[in-house]
Amino acid sequence: MATVVISAYDVVNYPQGGGHFWVYLQYVLGLRLLGHDVYWLEAFRAKGPKEQEAAALATFQARMQQYGLGGKCILYRTRSKEPSSEAPAEYLNMTRGEAEAIFGRADLLLNFHYAISSALLPHFQRTALVDIDPGLLQFWITRGQLNVPEHDLYFTIGEGVGRCGGKIPNDSPRWIHTGPAVCLERWPYIFDPCCEAFTTVSTWDSSDWVVDRDETYENTKRVAFLEFSGLPRLTRQPLELALVMRTERDMEERKNLQNAGWRIRQACEVASTPEMYQAYIQRSRGEFSCAKPSYIKLQTSWISDRTLCYLASGKPVVVQHTGPSSFLPNGEGMFRFSTLQEAADALEVINADYRRHSQAARQIAETYFDSKQVVTNILTHALR
């Protein structure tokens, strides 16, 4: 069995992100179910009052313990989100020598942190970067907007990366396709026809813009959802968004959405812990969600890690079409829409035979996104 170090990004600094924690945990759980030894590596970015830092660290350590990673976590301190060529100056829960001993005996670093310190990588026998922002990451690299340290292998969850005639090249580095992961054992099938609302969890607004030579556009869920804000007028299906909303403009747009027929919840009220996030999805009838504009413009065929949790739970999904796929279904368990009417029609079809589409949703997760299959594919490429 292999020893794998997973390098996560911004979990310890974002204790209220219950869903964000699950992104990386799915891979950890898949590896452990197969008998591999797994360590969690992460940078802790010092910011804010000492009391706030201490609370974030305590929350993180409690979650590590709860999910079987007590004593398997390596935290180091950093001052910036920007890439660094310097080795960590301070480890928070062990000495540098102890951390580097783990790195040295690990078979693989599975890295989700694009701006990881390049000084860490030589300590590992093999290194693999995992791209969970397809299209965007390749854009940032080719435009010189992000300097990613050199790894041995590069994986992407974007089926559209390197597609013949597509918009995302696959030349330097060379990207290997892999699916995103969901741990089926931790996300059981739950059929409940009494569940009422189609939901999703998201950050409403951010400073996310795509800036290119010929084009600049806002790349947020805000602009994506506003395009489909009229959906409640076309369906009797209750629709609910659990959103991170902070600014005065956010609050004004929340009122507008509610006036248009949407139910709006604050994400912190329903998804601020991993358990709350899971319970919220399991109480939902299904998912309705839009995608950031870049995923559509670049035809990435991206699917959200959150959507996988709905599928595994037996919750049909109605999600925005992000490009052609050789395997993603459209019409049973999963519906991929491009127009308001397509979204409304999909909701009607699901509700006409809810049990069938619930079972189909689970089958999609089992067939394509089982975390054990996903990590086996990664290890097969990385350790041969």
The domain that contains 221 carries what CATH number?
A: 3.40.50.2000
Around Cβ 17, how many Cβ atoms within 10 Å? 22
Task: Find the mean pLDDT for residues 316-340.
Answer: 97
Per the domain annotation, does 101 fall within a domain? yes
Per the domain annotation, does 290 fall within a domain? yes
How many domains does the chain fold into? 2
pLDDT of residue 343: 98
In this structure, the answer to whether residues 27 and 45 fall within a common structural domain is yes
Task: Find the mean pLDDT for residues 285-310.
Answer: 98
54-92 pLDDT tens trace? 999 999 999 999 999 999 999 999 876 666 778 888 999
Per the domain annotation, does 11 fall within a domain? yes
Tokens of 359: 């079972």
Tell whether the model's pLDDT for residue 261 goes beyond 90: yes
Which residue, among 44, 58, 39, 37, has the nearest Cα to 9 in the 3D structure? 44
- List Cα–Cα distances, 192 to 281, 316, 366, in angstroms: 12, 12, 19
pLDDT of residue 380: 98
User: What is the phi-psi region of residue 68: left when phi exceeds 0, alpha when psi lies from -120 to 50, beta otherwise?
Assistant: left
In this structure, the answer to whether residues 168 and 99 fall within a common structural domain is yes
pLDDT of residue 89: 84
Task: Find the mean pLDDT for residues 190-207.
Answer: 96
Per the domain annotation, does 297 fall within a domain? yes
pLDDT of residue 213: 85
Count the alpha carbons within 13 Å of 296 in the hemisphere toward its beta carbon: 18
Tell whether the model's pLDDT for residue 378 goes beyond 80: yes
Reported confidence tier of residue 172, pLDDT bands at 50, 70, 90: confident
Tell whether the model's pLDDT for residue 171 goes beyond 80: no
* Residue 48 backbone phi and psi in degrees, to 5: 75, -175
Per the domain annotation, does 111 fall within a domain? yes
In this structure, the answer to whether residues 58 and 113 fall within a common structural domain is yes
In this structure, the answer to whether residues 133 and 213 fall within a common structural domain is no
pLDDT of residue 82: 67
In this structure, the answer to whether residues 25 and 80 fall within a common structural domain is yes
Reported confidence tier of residue 384, pLDDT bands at 50, 70, 90: confident
Tokens of 115: 């701006």
Tokens of 227: 């395009």
Per the domain annotation, does 192 fall within a domain? no
Per the domain annotation, does 189 fall within a domain? no
Three-class SS string for 255-322? HHHHHCCCEEEEHHHHCCCHHHHHHHHHCCCEEEECCCHHHHHCCCCCCCHHHHHHHHCCCCEEEECC
Alpha helices in 8-49 (DSSP H): 18-33
Per the domain annotation, does 191 fall within a domain? no
Task: Find the mean pLDDT for residues 101-126.
Answer: 97
- Whole-angstrom distance, CA of residue 4 vs CA of residue 20: 20
In this structure, the answer to whether residues 266 and 322 fall within a common structural domain is yes
Expressed as residue numbers, the domain containing 124 is 3-181+369-382
In this structure, the answer to whether residues 310 and 378 fall within a common structural domain is no
Tell whether the model's pLDDT for residue 12 goes beyond 70: yes
- Whole-angstrom distance, CA of residue 139 vs CA of residue 132: 13
- Whole-angstrom distance, CA of residue 54 vs CA of residue 57: 5
pLDDT of residue 6: 98
In this structure, the answer to whether residues 129 and 204 fall within a common structural domain is no
The domain that contains 109 carries what CATH number?
A: 3.40.50
The rounded percent of the chain whose pLDDT value lies above 70 is 99
In this structure, the answer to whether residues 229 and 108 fall within a common structural domain is no
User: What is the phi-psi region of residue 269: left when phi exceeds 0, alpha when psi lies from -120 to 50, beta otherwise?
Assistant: alpha
Give the burial string for 225-262 (b: 16+ CB within 10 Å, else e): beebbebbebbebebbbbbbbeeeeeeebbeebeeeeb
In this structure, the answer to whether residues 70 and 204 fall within a common structural domain is no
In this structure, the answer to whether residues 57 and 168 fall within a common structural domain is yes
pLDDT of residue 169: 80
pLDDT of residue 85: 77
Reported confidence tier of residue 102, pLDDT bands at 50, 70, 90: very high
Residue 182 near residue 313 (C-beta atoms within 8 A):
no
343-357 pLDDT tens trace? 999 999 999 999 999
- Whole-angstrom distance, CA of residue 156 vs CA of residue 171: 13
In this structure, the answer to whether residues 330 and 377 fall within a common structural domain is no
Task: Find the mean pLDDT for residues 250-262.
Answer: 97
Residue 318 near residue 287 (C-beta atoms within 8 A):
yes
Task: Find the mean pLDDT for residues 278-301.
Answer: 98
Reported confidence tier of residue 203, pLDDT bands at 50, 70, 90: very high
Around Cβ 115, how many Cβ atoms within 10 Å? 17
